[in-house]
Amino acid sequence: MVQKLVVGITGGIGTGKSSVARLFRKYGAEVIDADQIAHDALKKGSPVFDQIAVLFGDAWENHGKKLNREKIAEEVFSNPEKRKQLEALIHPYVYEKIKENIEETVKRTVIVEVPLLFEAGFQKLCDKVLTVKCNRTVKQKRFKGKRFSAEEIRTRENAQMPESLKIQKADFIIDNSGSISQTTRQVEQLWHKFESLSKGATKQ
């Protein structure tokens, strides 16, 4: 059985978690994207799809063939109770899928990208946690690229643990405020550390 180091990547909205995860993939890590698994849960055939469809009956599109993720996001971020109901359905599904993927991979270093890592209790799957941070100016540029309104940004940030607390809880931190080369250097340094730790990985 392959000995593995499982590192959870988290951070505030707009910090560039996915970019950092992609860099780790280039170095050879197995990367598991919790958001992608959550998106798959909204597709017909997933074990939780029917329950989600009942919860968001007004979010159908394409003649009732699929659910509109944007409509669902708009609803859950404006309705905390609906968000809790959705998370109660999706989080256990995502948790189990991540657990399966960790067990199935033959790679020694596994990166699990989860925006709500601490909020959903997914840190229990990880040996170490890496928080990605960046300054507000850079975040604003990224928000513009995603075309979020100021209100949408605010509601998403309010739905998450404060970034400062995620930084406090982390074992490692990457500052993604600078150039891609600066971020790459940080990733490279951590990659060597992860490779070393994977030879003696133990759960926290």
Number of domains in the chain: 1
Contact 112, 122 (CB under 8 A): yes
Whole-prediction pTM: 0.89
Q: Is 36 exposed, middle or buried, given 0-12, 13-18 or 19+ CB atoms closer than 10 A?
A: middle
Measured over the CA atoms of residue 166, residue 167, residue 172 and residue 173, the dihedral's sign is positive
What residues of the chain score a pLDDT lower than 70? 1-2, 61-65, 145, 147-148, 201-204
Supply angle C-alpha 80, 85, 88, rounded to 5.
120
What pLDDT shows up at residue 100? Answer: 97
Q: Which domain holds residue 129?
A: 5-200
What pLDDT shows up at residue 202? Answer: 46
What pLDDT shows up at residue 65? Answer: 63
What is the CATH classification number for the domain harbouring 67? Answer: 3.40.50.300
What pLDDT shows up at residue 145? Answer: 67
